[in-house]
Structure 1
Amino acid sequence: MSGGNVSAGVVRVGDTVRRPTGPWTPAVHALLTHLYEVGFRAAPRPLGIDDQGREVLTFVHGHVVWPDRFSLLESARNLAGVAGLIRDFHDAVRGFTPPADAHWQVLIPAEGSDIIAHHDLAPWNLVVAGEAEWAFIDWDTAGPGSRLWDVAYAMHGFIPLSAHPDWQRPDAADRLRVFADAYGLDEDERRRLVPLLGRRTRSMHVFLREQATRGIQPWATLWTEGHGDAWRNDAEYIEQREDQWTHALLGG
């Protein structure tokens, strides 16, 4: 299996994916079942628990975008398609009522709790198969959050809003506007989003630093490999350009 930094114990068996369960698994399965029942097909469908105690999900055919296929998102059309897909998910989840005993895997407390958010909408969790078959995987950290919290994180990864010379884009502001327009953010949401872009990105640096201090894997290894520095640098890059993002989103 490919597509992320945390995939221990995740295997493909035929047209299914098997992965370790946790206290959050029943709630995540309820969420994915709801999405399927309301017609949202851009997510795996839960099939229960196997005889080894692993959760069973439908296998999403295709290729993970990050990093080798990120060029698929170069076009404004495809970038807008990702934003629209995220909006479809957020609309589909609005009618979801979590189980009374729902337990979620909360890695980073969100700002706001108007929906059950994905919390990791990024190129490493986007699978593409052809022009129209796109889906998000890795829902195990879904939990209470907000639409803007999810959107801010997604914008960081899909535009991308990066300080790294290999990924920094001179047209980042234009792509930010394309994403916001395609998602359908109103004026108030755009104003609230701008400072959230930096805070959401910086929260990843803080999370990795805290987990590394406590020696918790796999986060400690990611910190040692420099992921924490990358998130901090990106946060600084974003925060230093808030006026640019505001102009792109609101004009004036």
Structure 2
Amino acid sequence: MDDAEIPLEGGRVTAGVVRLGDTVRRPILRDRGQVHDLLLHLERKGFDGVPRFLGVDEQSREILSFLPGDVPRDLGHFSDGQLLSAAGLLRRFHDATADFPAVLQSGAEVMCHNDWGPPNGVFRDGMPYGLIDFDTIMPGLRLWDLGYSAFSWLDLGNADDYTGAEQIRRLTLFAEGYELPACSPPQIAAYALARQTRLASWARHRGMQEMADWAASAAAWTALHVTEQLLPTGFPDERHL
């Protein structure tokens, strides 16, 4: 195996992550036990859309299998086919986590990735096929994860590039890709707004004003042009906001 370490760039890569041969070496900056358990669980379930956990090296870095492909650096425009693939991949991930011990013990529905967007996707032949970066996983609701994912993949709140009608069409497509009637476009829109609002509050309390302003602006646009059109009344239960 080639012993040259190649720094990995693009997407939201943790500092110090490198490729070594067919593996990725990632510094362990916090307890990763649940992440490792989840990756092993997904391997047993036969879900191939995530890296495999292969152990810890002599430098106390976790060893993951390398998923070949391209990782977008940021949000952007993604085609209908890419949106369908991204939503379908999230559905398969959720389904494979439904019987993960942390989910069963918490009474949640699934493990939420909580940051499933283009910068954490691996593309092959132009389509997302892999999920990476599990720093924010937590048991939760499918819709909680879907809301953030729609916000990220659709660039929801981008007033310069999309009309409300176009984003409603794309949101409907995203729901079709997820293929679960209980997760309808109006519900995903409501949770997308909830995630935007939560992000604005989170950033504001940490002094990240630019991010807070961006998320608040996206939330205001989503509420006016998408959520109020699809769901004039009834927003997510406050316990999940």
TM-score per shorter chain, which class?
A: 0.7 to 0.9
Which amino acid is the alignment partner of residue 162 of structure 2?
Q
Matched, 1:58 2:65: yes
Counterpart for residue 188 of structure 2: 193
Residues 18-57 of structure 1 mapped to structure 2, 5 A cutoff: 18-57=25-64
The correspondence for 2:162, drawn from 161, 168, 171, is 168
1:204 pairs with 180, 199, 202, which one?
199
Deviations 1:185-211 (A, max 9, x none): 325755543322211111112112222
The 8 Å contact of residues 27 and 99 in structure 1, kept in 2 or not, is answered as no
Q: Which residue of 2 aligns with 1:90?
A: 94
Tell me the secondary structure at the aligned position of residue 156 of structure 1: helix
What percentage of aligned pairs have identical amino acids? 33
Structure 1 window deviating more from structure 2 (54-63 vs 147-156): it is: 54-63
Q: For the Cα contact (< 8 Å) 1:32–1:43, is it kept in 2?
A: yes
Q: Does 1:244 align with 2:229?
A: yes
C-alpha contact 1:93 1:115 (8 A) present in aligned 2: yes
Following superposition of structure 1 onto structure 2, how do residues 67-86 of structure 1 map, counting pairs within 5 Å?
A: 67=74, 70-71=76-77, 73-74=78-79, 76-86=80-90
Determine the C-alpha separation between the residues in 1 that align with 2:228 and 2:84: 23
C-alpha contact (below 8 Å) 2:143/2:183 kept by paired residues: no
- Matched positions, count: 223
What CA distance in whole angstroms lies between the structure 2 residues aligned with 1:49 and 1:99? 25
What is the Cα deviation at residue 164 of structure 1?
Answer: 4.8
CA gap of 1:205–1:5, structure 2 versus 1, over 3 A, is farther
Q: Deviations over 1:22-70 (max 9, x none)?
A: 44311101101111211111111111111111111111111113448x5
8 Å CA contact 1:176–1:245 kept in 2: the answer is: no
Partner of 1:114: 109
Cα distance change, pair 246–187 in 1 and its aligned pair in 2 (3 A): farther
**Other-structure match for 1:105:** none
Deviation of the 1:231 alpha carbon: 1.2
1:6 deviates by: 5.4
What's the C-alpha RMSD, in Å, of the aligned pairs?
A: 2.8
Tell me the alpha carbon deviations over residues 212-243 of structure 1, each in whole angstroms, 9 at most, x when there is no partner: 3xxxxxxxxxx26x222211111111112313
Displacement of 1:141 in angstroms is 1.6
1:9 aligns with 2:16: yes
Q: What do residues 91-117 of structure 1 show as CA deviations (whole Å, max 9, x unaligned)?
A: 11112113999xxxxxxxxxx932211
Distance 1:47 1:133, change over 3 A: same
In structure 1, distance between residues paired with 2:127 and 2:118: 16
Kept in 2: contact 1:30–1:99 (CA 8 A): no
Write the distance in 2 (CA, Å) between the matches of 1:99 and 1:246.
29
Which residues of structure 1 form unaligned runs of 5+? Answer: 102-111, 213-222, 248-252
Q: Secondary structure at the match of 1:56?
A: strand
Closer/same/farther in 2, CA of residues 140 and 114 from structure 1, 3 Å limit: same
- TM-score in terms of structure 2 length: 0.81
